[in-house]
Amino acid sequence: MSTRAARWAAVLTATSAALLTGCGAAGDSAGTDGGTDRLTVLAGFYPLEWTAARVGGDLVSVSSLTPPGAEAHDLELAPRDVAAVSEADLLVYLDGFQPALDEAAGSEGGDSAWDAGQAADLVEGGPHEHAEDEDGEHGEDEHAVDPHFWLDPTRLASVGDALADRLADLDPDNAATYEENAAALRADLEELDGEIETGLSNCAVSTLVTGHEAFGYLGDRYGLEVVGISGLSPSQEPSPAQLAELSTLVRERGVTTVYTETLVDPAVAETVAEEAGVRTAVLDPIEGLTDESDGEDYLQVMRANLATLQEGQSCA
């Protein structure tokens, strides 16, 4: 067991994937291998890392394959990262979100790979509006599954509950602790959900124009119609005709704010805003945290997003 722990510590150093601070009492101890009996949990990106740290608490050592400041969609794995996948007690990933990790989960993860999307009740990217392409057809994302479930706190709570069950399977002696941690996480997320529901219940502008299609679950949960400038991945940029259509939509619907995003080049969203004569503000899809993030953990950043939306959507 000590040899495995040493190899794991080396992988963490090589990938610069220490657990981010600010995850609460559970997260403060995760990622520091203070004992050889804790489960090693490897997460694909920040929301899964944060959830695993909250649910696992002191019983797990959690790290993320996506380094702080990196764009989670674009994750590439070095050979040592693939080796880490094979050695982890549990890999928490989101199938379809990070193709390189999907491949590693299939080839190296085995029974230790756990797809969080199974508990998140994912839906296609089509419930919210997409700009049409030059031929009048909707883009390729129309029937693609939207992976950004964590922007609906209630879905993230469901993932936390399911993760507690998965950890209990690996560590039955501590099943009650995992269940208690998941219940505490759910309470925090339900409180956040209530704050957002109240804060966005009376907004003058109901159309939410964002840098890419990351906020569909948030929009569906809180009654906003989301229009993404780019696709489900930020790399799927719109055509000139789609940009012109989006600028027209912004003007016609009385949209006053177009939202750029952290970790994503703001140029395209800024172009739409400039053409429509409106302002920009920054929303955080919380795919990862950086020193520029408006908060130290998921809960803080979501509350900062709420404040941004209340101003940008003219909410009473």
Domain that holds residue 75: 2-117+148-192
Name the band, by pLDDT with cuts 50, 70 and 90, for residue 279. Answer: very high
**Residue 145: per-residue pLDDT:** 92
The lowest-confidence range among 54-68, 118-132, 162-176 is 118-132
- 146 against 31, higher pLDDT: 146
Please count the other Cβ atoms lying within 10 Å of the Cβ belonging to residue 21: 11
Same domain, 7 and 99: yes
Same domain, 181 and 258: no
Specify if 132 maps to a domain: no
Task: Choose the final residue of a domain: 192, 225, 253.
Answer: 192
Same domain, 111 and 249: no
Specify if 288 maps to a domain: yes
Specify if 172 maps to a domain: yes
Same domain, 166 and 245: no
Percent of the chain with pLDDT over 90: 74
**Residue 15: per-residue pLDDT:** 38
Specify if 299 maps to a domain: yes
Same domain, 57 and 206: no
Specify if 206 maps to a domain: yes
Same domain, 40 and 158: yes
Same domain, 212 and 113: no
pLDDT, tens digit (0-9, with 9 covering 90-100), for 104-141: 999 999 999 999 999 999 998 743 444 444 444 444 45
Same domain, 104 and 184: yes
In this prediction, residues 179-196 reach a mean pLDDT of: 98
Q: What is the largest CA-CA distance in the chain?
A: 64
Specify if 81 maps to a domain: yes
Specify if 133 maps to a domain: no
In this prediction, residues 293-314 reach a mean pLDDT of: 97
**Residue 143: per-residue pLDDT:** 66
pLDDT, tens digit (0-9, with 9 covering 90-100), for 69-92: 898 999 999 999 999 999 999 999
Same domain, 88 and 156: yes
Specify if 177 maps to a domain: yes
Same domain, 154 and 269: no
Whether the CB-CB separation of 194 and 157 falls below 8 Å is answered with no
Name the band, by pLDDT with cuts 50, 70 and 90, for residue 144. Answer: confident
Name the band, by pLDDT with cuts 50, 70 and 90, for residue 263. Answer: confident
**Which residue, among 20, 134, 144, 130, has the nearest Cα to 70 in the 3D structure?**
20
Same domain, 261 and 304: yes
Same domain, 234 and 270: yes
**Residue 116: per-residue pLDDT:** 98
Name the band, by pLDDT with cuts 50, 70 and 90, for residue 36. Answer: low
- What CATH number does residue 299 fall under? 3.40.50.1980
The lowest-confidence range among 149-158, 182-191, 199-208, 235-244 is 235-244
Q: Using alpha carbons only, give the angle 162, 95, 159 rounded to the nearest 5 degrees.
A: 20
Examine the pLDDT at 187 and tell me if it is beyond 60.
Answer: yes
The lowest-confidence range among 155-159, 180-184, 187-191, 239-243 is 239-243
